Structure 1
Amino acid sequence: MTTTAKEAREAFGERLRNLRKDAGLTGRQLSELAGWHSSKVSKIEYGKQTPTDDDVRVWCIHTHSADQVPDLLANLRNVETAYLEQKRMRLPHRQKQSIATEGQTGLMRWYEPVVVPGLLQTPPYAEALLAMVLDFYDDPPDDLEPGLAARLERQQVLYRGNHRFYFLLGEQVLHTRVGTADLMLEQMDRLLTAMSLPRVVLGIVPTSSDYRAPVMNNFIMFDTRMVQVETISAELTITQPSEIALYDKAFHRLKNQAIHGQDARAMIAAAMAALRSDHDPRT
């Protein structure tokens, strides 16, 4: 997977260069056919210039590869937006951007291995989590209040419109301590409440599950048009159909390993009992 905007442009340029070579054209010949400056083809192929949608279409026409236009345009979206450095976009803006994306989605599928997904967080849990994130990235503490407000505003999508949600949580989510025991108990109760919402499905992948999918990070699927993945240093936006298909396959494998319904409720209840036991001063 490409990890910088420069590498993404270079990889895309190499793909276009292979199409040109397969068509038996030199860079100069392609430039002349397209009516471009003589250096444009070279700049695109070596990642020094990002082509427009029209550039890609013209490239494919003259290299007799029009059937590849849809996938190439999706790939181009990756070049433009796949790598978003965390520190380039402050927390409140990221949250507001998520509101717009989630509001346009019919089915959201969310896998989260470590912490509770943002749409299901209680205000105290969200505040404690966001405070840690701001501290980790040395972001201004003034971002906490607007960031928290935007995250809570995001949750309204659970109750509006005809959106559907499928959350898969790693069992570790129930045991990752965010804040106090009381805060965690409130958050666990919130998960139980969310399970009763008519358009929400929640499953838990037990820690004893076999390793069936190479998933190390959380990911969110927005219908079948986009996937977002968070790493420590970046937020990846994936729109290429072939890559989305891999995340779809991973989600289905995780879903098949997850427990749902009363079994999931029982697992949450057991985690709450353990929290109460640890918190009980008599023990």
Structure 2
Amino acid sequence: MTTDFQSAREALGARLRALRTEAGMQGKQLAAALGWQTSKVSRLQNGKQTPTREDLAGWAHGVGRPDAVAELHGLLAGLGAQGRHRSWRRQLAGGHRGRQEIAVRQTEHTKEIRGLEVSRVPGLFQTPEYARVLFDANAEFRGIPPTTDAAVAARMRRQEALYDPEKTFRFLMCEAALYHRACPVDVMAEQLDRLYNLVGRRRIELGILPFGAQLRRTAPHAFWVYDRTLVIVETISEELWLTGHEDVGLYERAWEWLAESAEYGAQARRLIGRARASLDLT
């Protein structure tokens, strides 16, 4: 069983458990209501068994949340989206929450994450309000259910990994990402303050690629590298999940070449501070 498949199934199980808990029901109570064995409830919410669409509909109605059926079916669709190309249409069918839960699990299974962001702040470093604006805008763009509160909560839970002493995070950002503003100015100011304070943190390496820097290779698009075994590339229509040795090696080289031109430490703070000072907060 592939790691990403299991991560997606665990994310679905975690959502099922949350729905049951929010309803104030014990596992045996839900099992009795649905005519299931208690062991089935346990296997589903622990990511040990793949549910059917009927199982998910039954669970949602059993806990008094029929409105959650579409979201659960979207998470299930994510299980079937394995492979190199994963369309956003399928992954976000029930809103953003499901994909964010998968990201939480993927991060839990990873020791080192490297990433490049060209025009926005990496999700692991986003403030709640910055993330909220992005989720709202993307939901409108794609015409999907606006599960923004749940998606933001999941993204914030994912950020708990930043305090795990067993994990390392190494990110590059183009300086343009400090100026591209898809949010109100006060939200951007708060976001830049957070970035400024993250520079120099233990196990977090944040490099800024300045305007005018000479690059051995230009930054083509955002990508994330997980433990030298997986690269995730986001496009407008789909994600690419690349696991081949040559593909991963190519993206590692791209990251390394870009890292050579990045500014770190005090110089990175200077660039962030300059962007912060450019904001008109009057």
Fold-level match, TM-score > 0.5? yes
Match of 1:112? Answer: 117
Report the counterpart of residue 128 of structure 1 in structure 2. Answer: 133
Q: Is the contact made by 2:130 and 2:183 (CA closer than 8 Å) also made in structure 1?
A: yes
Residue 232 of structure 1 aligns to a residue whose secondary structure is coil
What amino acid maps onto 2:123 in structure 1? G
Alignment-mate amino acid for residue 183 of structure 1: V
CA shift for structure 1 position 160: 2.1
Name 2:90's counterpart in structure 1: 88
Amino acid across the alignment from 1:127: R
Normalised TM-score (structure 1) = 0.68
In the alignment, the residues of structure 2 paired with residue 136 and residue 216 of structure 1 have an alpha-carbon distance, to the nearest angstrom, of: 23
Q: Which amino acid aligns with 2:137?
A: M
Cα distance per residue 1:208-243 (max 9 Å; x no partner): 123532542100000110000000000110000001
Give the 3-state SS of the residue equivalent to 1:279 in structure 2.
coil
Q: Structure 1: any 5+ residue segments left out of the alignment? A: 1-78
Alignment of 1:241 with 2:245, yes or no, is yes
Give the SS at the match of 2:120: coil
Residues 147-171 of structure 1: CA deviation (Å, up to 9, x unaligned): 1111111111101241000010000
Match of 1:137 among 136, 142, 145: 142
Q: Which amino acid aligns with 1:139?
A: I
Q: 1:99 is matched with which residue?
A: 104
Question: Normalising by the residue count of structure 2, what TM-score does the alignment of the two structures yield?
Answer: 0.68
Q: 2:118·2:219 contact (CA, 8 Å) conserved in 1?
A: no
Taking the TM superposition and a 5 Å limit, the aligned residue runs for 1:13-28 are none
- 1:146 partner amino acid: A
Mapped contact 2:215–2:257 kept (Cα < 8 A): no
Post-superposition shift, 1:197? 2.1
CA-CA distance at 1:182 after TM superposition: 1.1
Aligned to 1:18: none
**Structure 1 residue 207: deviation in Å?**
2.3
Q: CA offset at residue 253 of structure 1?
A: 0.7
> CA offsets per residue over residues 32-73 of structure 1, 9 Å max, x none?
xxxxxxxxxxxxxxxxxxxxxxxxxxxxxxxxxxxxxxxxxx
CA RMSD, Structure 1 to Structure 2 (Å) = 1.4
State the SS of the aligned residue for 2:225: strand
After superposition, residues 118-267 of structure 1 pair within 5 angstroms as 118-141=123-146, 143-213=147-217, 215-267=219-271
What stretches of structure 1 move > 6 A for 4+ residues in a row? none
Aligned counterparts of 1:81 and 1:249: Cα–Cα separation in 2: 23
| Letter paired with 2:87 | E
Q: CA deviation at 1:195?
A: 1.5
Cα distance in 2 for partners of 1:214, 1:81 equals 28
Q: Distance in 1 between matches of 2:245 and 2:171?
A: 22
- Deviation, structure 1 residue 181: 1.3
DSSP 3-state at the match of 2:143:
coil
* Residue-by-residue CA offset, 1:51-109 (whole Å, 9 max, x unaligned): xxxxxxxxxxxxxxxxxxxxxxxxxxxx9511100010121111111111111111100
Higher CA-based Rg: 1
Counterpart amino acid of residue 86 in structure 1: W
Number of equivalenced pairs: 199
SS of equivalent to 1:253 = helix
